[in-house]
């Protein structure tokens, strides 16, 4: 069954340092997409970065990069030069094929990141 696993319930990082948030996934579909979302304390869901299963290079968006290791089925989010505003909950998600041929999204349980001044 399709599954997303985030094993770090909480993380701390010092301001201006880099941090890696772990995400592993399980799917039998060769074509899938992986996403990371940020949820600040205000509650909205903010899209950060996307990685396709056939993409040859790791995705990057500003200070966010995705360390995609297909053989290990991992899609870790790397945040460089952490800022206080990065303190939030982070969700890893996967878009996967359903038995009816459509797509649905599966989310992990999230990692709460706290950036320390």
Q: How far is CA 99 from CA 27, 55, 93, in A?
A: 13, 24, 19
Residue 28 CB, nearest approach to another protein (Å): 15
Number of residues that bind another protein (CB under 8 A): 29
Interface with another protein, residue 71, by CB under 8 A:
no
Torsion angle, alpha carbons of 78, 93, 73, 82, to 10 = 10
Choose which of 11, 20, 22, 33 interacts with another protein (CB under 8 A).
Answer: 33
Cα–Cα dist 66/76, whole Å: 6
Q: Residue 51 CB: number of other CB atoms within 10 A?
A: 22
Interface with another protein, residue 38, by CB under 8 A:
no
In sign, the C-alpha dihedral spanning 55, 70, 4, 101 is: positive
Cα–Cα dist 43/81, whole Å: 23
Residue 18 CB, nearest approach to another protein (Å): 24
Choose which of 44, 56, 71, 72 interacts with another protein (CB under 8 A).
Answer: 44
Interface with another protein, residue 10, by CB under 8 A:
no
Give the interface with another protein as residue ranges (CB under 8 A): 4, 6, 9, 31-33, 35, 37, 43-45, 47, 50, 52-53, 91, 93, 95, 98, 100, 102-110
């Amino acid at each position: 069954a399709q599954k997303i696993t985030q094993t770090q319930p909480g993380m701390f990082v010092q301001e201006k340092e880099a941090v890696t948030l772990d995400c592993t996934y399980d799917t039998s579909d060769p074509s899938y997409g992986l996403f990371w979302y940020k949820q600040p304390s205000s509650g909205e869901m903010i899209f950060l970065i996307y990685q396709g299963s056939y993409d040859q290079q790791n995705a990057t968006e500003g200070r966010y990069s995705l360390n995609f290791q297909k053989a290990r089925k991992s899609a870790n989010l790397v945040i460089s030069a952490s800022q206080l505003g990065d303190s939030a909950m982070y969700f890893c998600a996967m878009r996967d094929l359903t038995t009816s041929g459509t797509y649905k999204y599966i989310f992990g349980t999230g990692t709460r990141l706290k950036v320390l001044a």
